[in-house]
Amino acid sequence: MENTRDKLIDATFDEIYSHGYQGAPLTDILKKAGVHKGSMYHFFKNKKEMALAAIGEKMFEKFNERYSYVESYQIGILDEFYKRLRDLTARDFKRGCPIANIVQEMSNIDEDFNVLMKSIYEVFRENVKSILDKAIEIKELKPCDTTKLALFITSTLEGAILSAKATGDEQDYLDVIDEMIDYIQMKRG
């Protein structure tokens, strides 16, 4: 059974992911969590602190799930990466990417959100970079500036998700991803 704090973290992340930070009233979060107000203020100083905790903890949790395979994988890591990129079941195009959503909404508005999202985005990029580095190590990719290539991949991925969210067409996501994969393949050697 989930404890009260976890219920709050989960409900907060989900409500913010669905409606944005500014569009997620505390009462809705509390209702979803099934937790009373005073109880919430026992665990968190205020709504913002709870939101920062929820975003940080859930995102790092997601990264651990999504990129843990990099450790164990040896051959075919790039193909595995492509396969996961093309896997639509892992994506929610209605809501988009939680990182992008919060960066867009909050980075310019609140310095604490800005700092948090910056570090989350950095970890995202490092995860992609580590895949590329491993691919180079096992000669599945020609040596190149993996920092820049990881930046290009994360940017394009975020843009692809945005396009699909804007048009409501998952195919747009796939088209961009396939074009991006073509580009990486050219570097494959």
Q: Which residues bind DNA (CB under 7 A)?
A: 4, 24-28, 35-39, 41-43, 46-48
Q: How far is the CB of 100 from DNA (least distance, A)?
A: 22
Here the tokens at position 71 are 């450790």
Residue 18 within binding range of a copy of itself, rule CB under 8 A = yes
Q: What span, in angstroms and rounded, lies between the C-alpha atoms of 140 and 80?
A: 12
Among 40, 55, 85, 101, binds a copy of itself (CB under 8 A): 101
Q: Is the CB of residue 171 less than 8 Å from the CB of residue 93?
A: no
Residue 188, φ and ψ in degrees, nearest 5:
-70, -30
Q: What span, in angstroms and rounded, lies between the C-alpha atoms of 157 and 121?
A: 13
Among 30, 40, 59, 180, binds a copy of itself (CB under 8 A): 180
Among 10, 20, 47, 86, binds a copy of itself (CB under 8 A): 20
Q: Which is nearer to DNA, 26 or 174 (CB)?
A: 26
3-state secondary structure 3-72: CHHHHHHHHHHHHHHHHCCCCCCHHHHHHHHCCCHHHHHHHCCCHHHHHHHHHHHHHHHHHHHHHCHHHH
Among 35, 96, 128, 141, binds a copy of itself (CB under 8 A): 96
Pick the stretch among 3-11, 26-34, 68-76, 90-98 that binds a copy of itself (CB under 8 A).
Answer: 90-98
Residue 100 within binding range of a copy of itself, rule CB under 8 A = yes
Q: Which is nearer to DNA, 24 or 157 (CB)?
A: 24
Stretch 135-154 residues interacting with a copy of itself (CB under 8 A): 148-149, 151-152, 154
Q: What span, in angstroms and rounded, lies between the C-alpha atoms of 19 and 3?
A: 24
Q: How far is the CB of 97 from DNA (least distance, A)?
A: 23
- C-alpha torsion 66→72→75→76, nearest 10: -10
Start-to-end CA distance of the chain, whole Å, equals 51
- Residues near a copy of itself, by CB under 8 A: 18-20, 22-23, 94-96, 99-101, 103-105, 107-109, 114, 117-118, 121-122, 148-149, 151-152, 154-160, 162-163, 165-168, 172, 175-176, 179-180, 183, 186
